[in-house]
């Protein structure tokens, strides 16, 4: 996928993530300036996993987002569209239940899960509404949606600094640390083009989810959207 190609063709996106799978967790920690673990702890608190709770972790990658949920007793299905990510996850975390899945056509029955979560993956689907509709289908009535995604910093001066980091420093760090730096240049461009907190909340509601709430992390660099299936 070229840096200018924002079409999000599924095969190209999968191939891009196949190429960064081996060092994905490490490079993410570098690019987030060490914030990844802090964000994950905050999301785990919001999800509040319990023994027997059935969770679909979509775009789970090598399973870093699934691991704390599993450790607290939830029955987690760690799903991803990238075979490279799944292979890396099975090597790094063989105790997790990894499964290939397309976010736009999930291979699960209706009302199968108590909660659907996706961290930094919704942005990479080429049909956001379809992905959210599929999430709605597989979650039971009264079940929850938890979306973790890069968003728009709420303080304007910081937003300018952050945008400059995305478009200059992030690609430089990626070139020094990643085997596929073009993937992270795409990442920067996709973040810049992504809807802000309010716009994403409206999209979630339009699909049929209710009671959308937004929690900003690191001043809005990351936003967690939660919702309930009526």
Question: What is the DSSP code string of 52-115?
Answer: T-EEEEET-TTTTTTHHHHHTT-EEEEEES-HHHHHHHHHH-TTSEEEE-BTTB-SS-TT-EEE
> pLDDT category, 124, cuts 50, 70, 90?
confident
Nearest to 56 by CA among 138, 130, 129: 138
What pLDDT score does 154 carry?
87
Residue 2: pLDDT band by 50, 70, 90 thresholds?
A: very low
Which pLDDT tens digit goes with each residue over 181-211? Answer: 666 677 778 888 899 999 999 999 999 999 9
Structure token digits, residue 70: 């599993």
**Given the DSSP bridges, would you call strands 210-217 and 113-119 parallel, antiparallel or unpaired?**
unpaired
Average pLDDT for 124-142: 96
Tell me what the mean pLDDT of segment 101-120 comes to: 97
Question: Hunting for tokens 């999000």 — which residue is that?
Answer: 8
Say what percent of the chain tops pLDDT 70. Answer: 77
The rounded mean pLDDT for the chain is: 85
Per-residue pLDDT at 228: 98
What per-residue confidence (pLDDT) applies to 226? 98
Q: Which helix or strand (DSSP H or E) is residue 24 part of? A: helix 24-31
Note the maximum CA span of the chain.
47
C-alpha span between 88 and 165 (Å, rounded) = 29
Which residues, at least 6 apart from 62, have a Cβ–Cβ distance to it below 8 Å?
Answer: 21, 24, 25, 85, 88, 89, 92, 93
Per-residue pLDDT of 35-49, as tens digits, reads 888 999 999 999 999
Question: Rounded CA gap, 85 and 228, in Å?
Answer: 29
Around 52, how many Cα atoms within 13 Å sit in the side-chain half-sphere?
A: 0
In the chain, where the domains are located: 33-153+195-228
Return the minimum-mean-pLDDT range out of 58-62, 99-103, 191-195.
191-195
Superfamily of domain 33-153+195-228: Vaccinia Virus protein VP39 (3.40.50.150)
């Amino acid at each position: 996928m070229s840096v200018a190609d924002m079409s999000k063709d599924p095969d190209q996106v999968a191939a891009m993530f196949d190429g960064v799978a081996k060092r994905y967790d490490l490079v993410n920690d570098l690019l987030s300036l060490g914030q990844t673990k802090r964000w994950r702890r905050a999301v785990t608190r919001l999800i509040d996993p319990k023994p027997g709770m059935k969770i679909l972790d979509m775009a789970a990658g090598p399973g870093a987002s699934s691991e704390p949920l599993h450790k607290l007793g939830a029955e987690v299905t760690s799903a991803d569209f990238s075979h490279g990510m799944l292979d890396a996850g099975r090597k790094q975390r063989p105790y997790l239940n990894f499964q290939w899945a397309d976010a736009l056509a999930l291979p699960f029955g209706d009302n199968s899960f108590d909660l659907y979560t996706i961290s930094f993956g919704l942005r990479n689907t080429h049909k956001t509404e379809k992905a959210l509709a599929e999430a709605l289908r597989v979650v039971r009535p009264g079940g929850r949606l938890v979306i973790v995604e890069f968003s728009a910093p709420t303080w304007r001066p910081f937003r300018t600094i952050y945008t400059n980091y995305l478009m200059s420093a992030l690609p430089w760090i990626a070139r020094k640390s990643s085997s596929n730096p073009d993937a992270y240049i795409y990442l920067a461009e996709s973040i810049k083009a992504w809807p802000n907190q309010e716009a994403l909340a409206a999209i979630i509601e339009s699909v049929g989810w209710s009671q959308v709430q937004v929690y900003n992390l690191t001043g809005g660099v990351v936003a967690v959207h939660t919702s309930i299936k009526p």
